[in-house]
Amino acid sequence: MNRDEWKDWKDWYRESIREWKQRYRQSMQEWRQRFRDWKSQTEADISEGRSPAPLPPMAPTPPIPPMHSVSTGRANVVASRIGNEELKLIDMLIEARLLGTRSEAVAYLVSEGIKARQDVFDKVSKSLEEIRKIMTEAEEHVEKLKKEIGLAQTKDVEETQEQEKTCNECGKDLSDFPEGISMCPYCGTKLGKE
């Protein structure tokens, strides 16, 4: 987090707390007024022999504003082991109140580390594209080789097998039966190529 981001975050935090306190004070003032009205009414009711009205409910506390995160979109959790020195430095950032939690500190340091070494990520990205291309070509080559030596079935054979999932004579579904059956168990018709 650079100084401007830190200043923006601190300003946002102070403003959020100020607004929350203001809403809280206003809520309490409204409740005090309702309590005074209830008290006056209760005194009048008691002096006239009537039962007093129930005490007005306590004022709801306004919600605390959500914490402003250092980085938006931090929904992923990554467990990691770090050394004692690194942990001391992370805790130092928290103690200095630059960041609020270890999670925020680690997320910040990871983000800054990625920015600082963007050149490495650019190189890796290029290399990975080449590796993916080579792997795709290798997979295509292996499939071609399997077909040439008879380890893989051609599409024509696969389509024929798909069509054979039902009996041509009775039309019953045979998909629950073993692949190599030679006779329809329903009507006795011979299956497969003759």
Are both 111 and 136 inside the same structural domain?
A: no
Query: Does residue 169 sit within a domain?
Result: yes
If one counts the domains in the chain, the total is 4
Are both 59 and 12 inside the same structural domain?
A: yes
Query: Does residue 122 sit within a domain?
Result: no
Longest Cα separation, the chain: 109
Are both 1 and 60 inside the same structural domain?
A: yes
Residue written as tokens 């030679």? 182
Tell me the two tokens of residue 10. 């601190």
Tell me the two tokens of residue 129. 């594209």
Are both 147 and 105 inside the same structural domain?
A: no
Cα-trace Rg, the chain: 37
Are both 47 and 91 inside the same structural domain?
A: no
Query: Does residue 121 sit within a domain?
Result: no
Query: Does residue 189 sit within a domain?
Result: yes
Q: Is the pTM higher than 0.85?
A: no
Give the SS3 label for residue 190: strand
Are both 148 and 161 inside the same structural domain?
A: no
Are both 46 and 88 inside the same structural domain?
A: no
pLDDT tens series, the chain, 194 aa: 567 777 777 787 788 788 888 888 888 888 889 889 989 999 998 899 888 888 888 777 777 666 555 445 677 888 889 999 999 999 998 888 888 888 888 988 998 999 999 999 899 989 989 999 999 999 999 998 888 888 876 555 555 545 557 888 888 888 777 777 888 888 888 887 54
Question: % helix / strand / coil in the chain, to the nearest 5?
Answer: 60, 0, 40
